[in-house]
Amino acid sequence: MNELKKRYPRTLSSGANNTVIAISETEAGKLFTGDTRSDIGSESEKMKFANSINDLVVKFIRLDILHNDSEMLVMERLYPMDFRAYEYEKRELWFEVFLSELEELHKAGFVHRDISRPSDMPGQKFDNVFLTNTGFRLIDVGISALRNQVSTKLFDRFVERESEEMEDFRKYILSR
C-alpha cells in the first residue's frame, strides 16, 4: 500500500526521501525527518565543499529546524526557467559552461552523481539540473561523493558515469 507523505505548507517539491519547501523569496529548505543527523550533515558538508569551488551547486545557507519536528537544510531558492524558450546557440553555450564547471568540481574532488535520474525513479530525467538566470545549476547533493571519502577507483567510476550522463543531457537540451 502506498503511504501518503506529510504535506507541508509552501511545498516546492517532494522526492523519495525529502520534501523541499519555500521559506522565503530567497531561501528554500530541504526537510529531514527522523534521526537524519548523518544525512543532513553529510549533505551540508558536500554542498559547502562544492560551493567553495564554484557556483554550480545550489548555495548552502544553514542548518535549522522546522516546527520542532523536522531538521532542515536551508539553501538558496532557485527559480528554474524553461530552456526551450531560448535559442539553440544559447543552450549550447550554457551547456559548455555547465560542463566546464562540472569538470572543475571533479578536479577538486566532488562528483554530483545524480544529474540523470535512474529510470525507476519518479520525476523528469534531469530534475536535478535547473536553468536559472545565471545558467545551469545543480540541486540535491544527497548521493554526491567527495574524493577524500571514497577510493580513487570508485570516485573515478562515478566521474566516468557522470560524463556519460552529461552527453545524454547535452542531447536532451539541444534536441528539444
pLDDT for 129 beyond 50: yes
Give the pLDDT of residue 5.
60
CATH architecture, range 11-76: 2-Layer Sandwich (3.30)
pLDDT tens digit string along 24-79? 999 999 999 876 666 899 999 999 999 999 999 999 999 999 988 889 999 999 99
Residue 51, H or E segment: helix 37-53
Percent of the chain residues past pLDDT 70, beyond the cut? 90
The CATH superfamily assigned to 83-174 is: Transferase(Phosphotransferase) domain 1 (1.10.510.10)
Segment 155-167 shows an average pLDDT of 95
The domain segmentation of the chain, as residue ranges, is 11-76, 83-174
C-alpha cell read off for 18: 525529502
| CA distance linking residue 114 with residue 2, whole number of Å | 25
Could you tell me the maximum CA-CA distance found in the chain, to the nearest angstrom? 48
Closest by CA to 20, choosing from 128, 116, 105, 120, is 128
C-alpha cell read off for 2: 502506498
Closest by CA to 114, choosing from 100, 104, 127, is 127
Segment 94-107 shows an average pLDDT of 98
